[in-house]
Structure 1
Amino acid sequence: MDNHVSHIVVVDDEKDIRDVLADALQQQGYRVTKAANSSELFAAGPSDLAIIDLRLNNEDGLTLAKALRAQSAIPIMMLTGKGDETDIIIGLELAADDYMLKPFNLREFTARVNALLRRSNRLANNSEALSNNETLYRFDDWTLNLSQRTVTRSNGNQPTLTHGEFSLLEALVMSPQRVLSREQLMEKTHGYGSDSQDRTIDVLVVRLRRKIEDNPRVPKLIKTERGIGYRFNTSVTKHSKTES
């Protein structure tokens, strides 16, 4: 039985906000560390998810998220005020897996955190369960390994995918040649729906194209279906590799 309690770090320079978010998460059963800056974030030790405010005193939340992403694949949620859409998109492009606009409903906040952690934990559990029976999906000249959470090209190239990028690629691979709306992809990758103004999927597609397309500006694998969503434009074959 897995008794692991997820550890979440909340980074915000406003004590009142830190306390409110920490209390809401602790009521969900999580272990929470409150941090006011980057030093306190990295001093908190290993964590399962980080929540980072975009605008910190004397620090840039985007830079902090990018630094964390460089050493960890854990989910990252950005918090930002309304009117910062450009910064939100940049944050998603750099490192983040999700974002929320202040002020927000605490119930929605905890629901999104729960969804990010469920997805992350499921991927980790699948990796452990499939360690002796690897499931491989081959498309074009790439191989997606669900147990190792890797995607490898025939020439050996193995780009590093963030939590969000891997979730998106898995969702696309599981539905080849099918048009998936942005709402469907949000449900598959994040565990909840979204409205038409949510740019999360669009930005994740841009990031993923940069890593698996020969020419991201003229993609051949992830096709845009205007006004609808995206289509994984290639055949996929499933293979199992059993180890003794």
Structure 2
Amino acid sequence: MKGERLKHVLVIDDDLAMRHLIVECLTVHALKVTAVADSQQFNRVLSSETVDVVVVDLNLGREDGLEIVRTLATKSDVPIIIISGDRLEEADKVLALELGATDFIAKPFGTREFLARIRVALRVRPTVARTKDRRTFYFDGWTLNLRQRRLTSEGGAEVKLTAGEFNLLVAFLEKPRDVLSREQLLIASRVREEEVYDRSIDVLILRLRRKLEQDAANPRLIKTARGAGYFFDIDVNVSYGGVMAA
């Protein structure tokens, strides 16, 4: 559509040839691409431009791609695709999911597959920013402010959530005591359901339990419905811009 903003892909990879390859691959398909070599350039782009998908190489020489994923996931819900040539063992995949990544692709990769993964990531990004949502949820002494994306305990301490954890918690709070299927939770957390992600919901649930429960091994809030999914087993109150719902 005339005048529509091009979707922006931000790539961080210290391999100059790979950066050139990605730029060439994506720009011919009407995507804006910014490719940088280090986190300083990466953060500069993030702070000054709208970014729709981030591609992170795990091996960045003196920098750790997973740390970049960790930092970004606590600040934004932008989809993060990891590329790697030699760190795609299952343990690395699970760790990256725990930190907030949404997809993986191993080097060397075909340009058609890479483009397809970019397009999927663009489709699953939330169309409405949670920062415009004025609801605040209250449960078991916890407070979740959607506009500020801020979770605080009864004592006022803030607990950091990745974008996936945040989205998953909101899904539970919107339907307390309702059993939500794995498919519903995958959609809510915006983690794609592929073989690579068989454990993605389990990982997110475990992370939330560790942050919310006194004993994650014997959860009181997020409970398992055998063969059906999970449910949030506690009353939830909500206010809209400071006005408590009836």
Judge same fold: TM > 0.5, yes or no. yes
Displacement of 1:114: 0.9
Partners of 1:22 and 1:197 in 2: how far apart?
27
Aligned to 1:150: 150
User: How many angstroms does 1:86 deviate by?
Assistant: 0.6
CA distance in 1, matches of 2:181, 2:18: 34
Which residue of the partner structure matches residue 122 of structure 1?
Answer: 128
For residue 64 of structure 2, the aligned residue among 53, 60, 67 is 60
- In structure 2, the residue matched to 1:213 is 213
**Cα contact 1:88–1:99 (8 A) shared by 2:** no
How far residue 7 of structure 1 moved from its aligned partner, in angstroms, is 4.4
**Letter matched to residue 182 of structure 1:** R
How has the CA–CA distance of structure 1 residues 197 and 45 changed in structure 2, closer, same or farther, with 3 Å as cutoff? closer
Following superposition, the deviation at residue 185 of structure 1 comes to 1.1
The question of 1:112 aligning with 2:120 is answered yes
Aligned residues: 232
Q: Cα gap change, 1:140/1:202 in structure 2, threshold over 3 Å: closer, same or farther?
A: same
- State the 1:113 CA deviation: 2.3
What is the DSSP-based 3-state SS (H/G/I as helix, E as strand, rest coil) of the residue aligned with 1:148? coil
Structure 2, unmatched stretches of 5+, are none
Task: Look up the SS of the partner of 1:207 in the other structure.
Answer: helix
Paired AA for residue 10 in structure 1: V
Equivalent residue for 1:73?
76
Which aligned pairs between 1:219-230 and structure 2 lie closer than 5 A? 219-230=219-230
2:94 paired residue number: 89
Query: Any idea what SS the aligned residue of 1:239 has?
Result: strand
1:187 to 1:213, Cα distance in 2 relative to 1, 3 A: same
- Give the Cα separation in 2 of the matches to 1:97 and 1:193: 13
Deviation of the 1:58 alpha carbon: 4.9
Q: How does 1:172-191 map to 2 (within 5 A)?
A: 172-190=172-190
Taking structure 1 as reference, are residues 69 and 176 closer, same or farther at Cα in structure 2, changes over 3 Å only? closer
Q: Does the aligned pair in 2 maintain the 1:183–1:195 contact within 8 Å?
A: no
**1:33 Cα offset (Å):** 1.5
Identical positions, percent = 32
Q: Secondary structure at the match of 2:220?
A: coil
Distance in 2 (CA, whole Å) between partners of 1:34 and 1:122 is 27
For the 8 Å contact 2:135–2:241, the answer to whether it is kept is: yes
How far the C-alpha of 1:239 sits from its partner, in A, is 2.6
**Within the alignment, does 1:11 sit opposite 2:17 as a pair?**
no
- Structure 2 match to 1:35: 36
The residue number in structure 2 matching 1:98 is 102
Q: Offset at 1:170?
A: 0.8
Distance 2:138 2:178 in 1: 17
The one-letter amino acid of 1:86's match is A
Greater mean alpha carbon deviation, residues 134-143 or residues 164-173: 134-143
1:31 Cα deviation (Å)?
Answer: 3.6
Q: Provide the C-alpha distance between the structure 1 equivalents of 2:178 and 2:142, rounded to a whole number of angstroms.
A: 19
| TM-score calculated relative to the size of structure 1 | 0.76
What TM-score, normalized to structure 2? Answer: 0.75
Partner Cα distance (1:7, 1:24) in 2: 14
Unpaired runs of 5+ residues, structure 1, are: none
